Structure 1
Amino acid sequence: MIRKIVEYQKLNTDILNLLIDKFPDGYDDSDIISFRNAQNEVIEAVEVKTEDTIYLVKVGKRLVQAMEDFDSTDASDKEEAPEMAEDLSDDFDEDLD
């Protein structure tokens, strides 16, 4: 299984939907995974999975706001969202193998 670390700025609608499905009321401290990256920096992330990939989404105030904004959009905005995020769908920070 592939692991990818994703910044909130690079979330596509699929990952946002996974986050909202897994954490409909938001995440708390028990959901956060802490680890050190290759530069020995402490990273905090929440985990969501697809069939072949584990996404570690870096947490922060902006992630919470992005989830709230995405969840509160109406159906017409959700239809437009894939077009806006399309260019970022394969553009992730780091791959962990």
Structure 2
Amino acid sequence: MKRVIKDYNSIEKRHLDLIAAEYPEGFEIEDLITFRKADGSSFRGLEIKTDDFLYLFKIDTRMLEAIDDHTDGDFTLDSFSESDDYDYESSDSEDDD
């Protein structure tokens, strides 16, 4: 199984379709996994498995907006903006592909 990390800069429509199919009603902060980088910083990601790939989607404000724009009105991301447990405005510009 190939492991792939995707962030906002490398996301494609097919990836957004995967997220929407896996979480048709939206996802919560509890669905995210926290990853530590070698430099000590961290990021949150959403894992989705397919037959051939294990995707890790880095979740930041731009990614949340892309998912929201791509999905219909039933997909909810409101809990992120209201949570004390997630820095909704953070964005990591590094591309780990």
* TM-score relative to the length of structure 1: 0.66
Q: What stretches of structure 1 of length at least 5 have no aligned partner?
A: 73-92
Does the C-alpha gap of structure 1 residues 5 and 40 become closer, same or farther in structure 2, counting only changes over 3 Å?
Answer: farther
- The list of structure 1 runs, each at least 4 consecutive aligned residues, that deviate by more than 6 angstroms after superposition, is none
Residues 51-97 of structure 1 show CA distances to partners (whole Å, capped at 9, x for unaligned) of: 1111110112222211121124xxxxxxxxxxxxxxxxxxxx335xx
User: Which residue does 2:15 correspond to in 1?
Assistant: 15
How many residues of Structure 1 are paired with residues of Structure 2 in the alignment? 75
Alpha carbon RMSD of aligned pairs, Å? 1.7
Unaligned 5+ segments in structure 2 are: 73-94
Q: For residues 84-95 of structure 1, what are the structure 2 equivalents within 5 Å? A: 93-94=95-96
Identify the structure with bigger relative contact order (alpha carbons < 8 Å, sequence gap 6+).
1
Question: Structure 2 length as normaliser, TM-score?
Answer: 0.66
